[in-house]
């Protein structure tokens, strides 16, 4: 006996349609399903951000996803799917993608290849930002690092250096370098004298003033207009 591959199938012993008896898989019917909880405001809100404005142009061809770097590592990662769910407003499904939504590495292949001009990488981040903002997903390591990066720029005179960022990341609990890595690194750096530049990055002259303007500007909502 063949088994139905779809869950929730009704199988009948005998089905007769217009006087003709059906057999094999023809006597199986899908259970009627209704999914509830769609929220059409999700699409509107994302389409009203600078990053997410092109979400509406997507025609779901999947070109973005077929070449996606991250999909090889995480089968749940897929820009096409994210866009689909966001436009349907399926918050439940978005929430279930907690461990995938944040993992875009910004290689921009999708954005380059999209035949409809969707800025896919930006849209994926807009969807993730929506999920974060509305508490659908918890804060992820990627976002923790992004915030750390901005924080380092703000605190260190408008510039970053690999050492500052590395030590801040280590403090935040990211595994960065082993002792062996540090030793391999320090020998050429000390020999060439480069270590001095790394320990003391230059600062932007007028940083205090710029920083306060930045802090004010960061409160502003930006719309695509």
Name which of residues 99 to 158 contact other proteins (CB under 8 A): 103, 105-109, 111-112, 117, 119, 121, 125, 128-129, 140-147, 149-150, 153, 158
C-alpha torsion 7→10→16→20, nearest 10: 10
Q: Of 1 and 217, which CB lies nearer to other proteins in the complex structure? A: 217
- Listed in order, strand segments (DSSP E) in the chain are 9-11, 15-17, 20-22, 28-30
Return the number of the residue (10 or 177) whose C-beta is nearest other proteins.
177
Half-sphere exposure of 66 (CA within 13 A, CB side): 6
Asked whether 142 and 125 are in contact (CB, 8 A), the reply is: no
Nearest distance from C-beta of residue 44 to other proteins, angstroms: 17
Contact 92, 137 (CB under 8 A): no
Q: Is the dihedral of CA 91, 86, 218, 222 positive or negative?
A: negative
Residue with tokens 């993730």: 128
Residues 171-210 that bind other proteins (CB under 8 A): 174-178, 180-181, 184-185, 188-189, 191-192, 194, 197-198, 201-202, 204-207, 209-210
Site for other proteins in 35-64 (CB under 8 A): 49-51
Q: Least CB distance from residue 58 to other proteins, whole Å? A: 15
Find the shortest distance in angstroms from Cβ 77 to other proteins.
10
Asked if 217 touches other proteins (CB under 8 A), the answer is yes
Nearest-approach distance from CB 38 to other proteins, in angstroms:
27
- Complex with other proteins: residue 14 or 191, whichever CB lies closer: 191
Measured between alpha carbons, how far is 32 from 164 in angstroms, rounded to an integer?
Answer: 57
Counting residues that bind other proteins (by CB under 8 A) gives 72
The window from 20-28, 57-65, 82-90, 167-175 that contacts other proteins (CB under 8 A) reads 167-175
Q: How far is the CB of 145 from other proteins (least distance, A)?
A: 5
Interhelix angle 79-88/120-133, rounded to 10 degrees, is: 50
Q: How far apart are CA 203 and CA 205, in angstroms?
A: 6
């Amino acid at each position: 006996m063949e088994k139905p591959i779809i869950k929730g199938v009704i199988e009948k012993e005998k089905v007769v349609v217009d006087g003709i008896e059906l057999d094999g898989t023809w006597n199986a019917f899908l259970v009627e399903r209704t999914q509830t909880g769609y929220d059409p405001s999700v699409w509107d809100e994302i389409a009203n951000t600078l990053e997410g404005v092109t979400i509406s142009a997507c025609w779901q061809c999947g070109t973005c996803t077929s070449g996606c770097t991250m999909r090889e590592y995480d089968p749940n990662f897929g820009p096409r799917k994210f866009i689909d769910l966001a436009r349907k407003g399926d918050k439940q499904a978005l929430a279930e993608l907690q461990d995938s939504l944040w993992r875009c590495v910004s290689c921009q292949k999708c954005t380059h290849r999209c035949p409809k001009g969707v800025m896919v990488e930006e849209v994926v981040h807009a969807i993730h930002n929506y999920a974060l903002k509305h508490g659908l997903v918890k804060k992820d390591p990627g976002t923790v690092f992004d915030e750390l990066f901005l924080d380092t720029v703000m605190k260190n005179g408008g510039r970053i250096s690999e050492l500052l960022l590395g030590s801040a990341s280590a403090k935040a609990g990211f595994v960065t370098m082993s002792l062996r890595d540090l030793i391999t690194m320090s020998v050429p750096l000390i020999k060439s004298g480069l270590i001095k530049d790394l320990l003391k990055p230059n600062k932007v002259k007028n940083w205090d003033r710029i920083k306060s303007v930045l802090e004010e500007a960061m409160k502003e909502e930006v719309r695509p207009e």
